[in-house]
Structure 1
Amino acid sequence: MRAIVIYATCEGQTERIAKRCADVMRRAGVATDTYDVTRNDVAELAVESFDAVMLGSSLHYAEHDPRIAWCIREHRQQLASIPTAFFSVSLGIISEHAKDRAEAEWLADEFLHDQSFNPTRRACFAGALRYSKYGWLKKRLMRWIAEKSGSKTVTTQDYEYTDWNAVNAFATDFTALLIGNTTERLQSTLAS
């Protein structure tokens, strides 16, 4: 069983989540690679080499990364035939306003719907405010968004909101599905 976690990251939190998922899967015995589409050519990605695929994208300005959308469209047939997972990373998921949380969930669902992609597992995780990595304009914009949603607004500090227990649980659940599928395939092969 070989798996890959394909992700798109801006300031690094989606990468941290992707690598945590891959680590959980590896520790459970599933050989897992990671692939950052923001640093590597998506056209070189050989999805057909893997038995399972997890995809993750940050959500910025109500949009998921178009390179993740491209991966889904380009490998639609392969993804439909293997176990898949998708996670979205945004600050909206931890807003003190229910409307913002619902919108973050809806945007993830809408992205998947637009790609005609129905992953086996799906999750939304909170990201981080990396004020130290933002330029002047983005820092002001993110401060305004944070203030509106009830998050931290001191721009001289960074804030991490990711629920690592939820990330571990998501990766563990997906891994259990993979190991179960492998066990079923082995039992089927032995029975023939």
Structure 2
Amino acid sequence: MKKVLCLYSTREGQTKKIVEYIVERLEGYQCEYVDLHQFPTLDLALYDKVLVAASIRYGRLHKALYQFIESHHHQLDKSKAAFICINLTARKEEQNKDTPEGSVYVQTFLRKSFWQPEMIGVFAGALRYPRYRFFDRIMIRFIMMMTGGETDTSKEVEYTNWDKVKKFAKKFRDM
């Protein structure tokens, strides 16, 4: 059976949920999930495909992502590997914030990263106010107020466009 490695960096779980949704559409693949925050050392040659997924918090990707890429970029370059970036700004599809070209986060990633993925997806995440610590709840509410998003801190809102994720999964399967 073919194998896919899914590496993820998530805070409240939406990134892993999106990765799991993609994997459900990869018929004929056995999947291994690895949390990038565990600083893994892996042999990517053991996998037919590699999916790297990371979420944005306060405008940044977690440093564990960059550490992993620095250690494994040669293997990533040789792999059938894709990158997905999950962020709340991607909810603004009409402004193309859900594209690699229109995402400031992806553009920053590409400038800073040793790895230049051949396939990139950008998806809106979820707003999980009740799960945030007090400081995060206040700061994220302020950011959402400035960007025209949900500010009711009693709510959880999922902005993910699942049709777009499904199309990405098909492209990733066929790559």
- Fold similarity call, TM over 0.5: yes
1:32 aligns to what? 31
Q: TM-score, normalised by structure 1?
A: 0.81
The answer to whether the 8 Å contact 2:98/2:123 transfers is: no
1:139 deviates by: 0.7
Q: TM-score, normalised by structure 2?
A: 0.89
Match of 1:125 among 123, 126, 145: 123
Q: Output the aligned Cα RMSD.
A: 2.2
Task: Report the counterpart of residue 175 of structure 1 in structure 2.
Answer: 173
Pick which of 64-73 and 81-90 moved more.
64-73
Q: Which amino acid aligns with 2:47?
A: F
Deviates more, 1:142-151 or 1:121-130: 142-151
- Asked if residue 4 in structure 1 is aligned to residue 5 in structure 2, the reply is yes
Look at both structures and tell me which one has the larger radius of gyration over its CA atoms. Answer: 1
Matches of 2:147 and 2:158, distance apart in 1:
15
Asked if residue 78 in structure 1 is aligned to residue 78 in structure 2, the reply is no
Alignment: residue pair count: 173
| Deviations 1:14-33 (CA, angstroms, capped at 9, x unpaired) | 111111112212xx212222
Query: Contact 2:45–2:79 (CA<8 Å) still a contact in 1?
Result: no
Higher helix fraction (1 or 2): 1
Residue 47 of structure 1 is matched in structure 2 by 44
Report the 3-state secondary structure (helix = DSSP H, G, I; strand = E; otherwise coil) of the residue aligned with 1:75: helix
Equivalent positions of 1:131-170 (< 5 A) are: 131-170=129-168
- Range with greater deviation from structure 2 (112-121 or 101-110): 101-110
Is 1:111 aligned with 2:112? no
Higher-strand-fraction structure: 2
Judged with a 3 Å threshold, the aligned counterparts in structure 2 of structure 1 residues 79 and 104 are, in CA distance, closer, same or farther, namely same
1:184 corresponding residue in structure 2: none
What amino acid does structure 2 have at the position aligned with 1:80? Answer: D
> 2:20: which partner in 1?
19
Structure 1 portions without partners, runs of 5+: 178-192
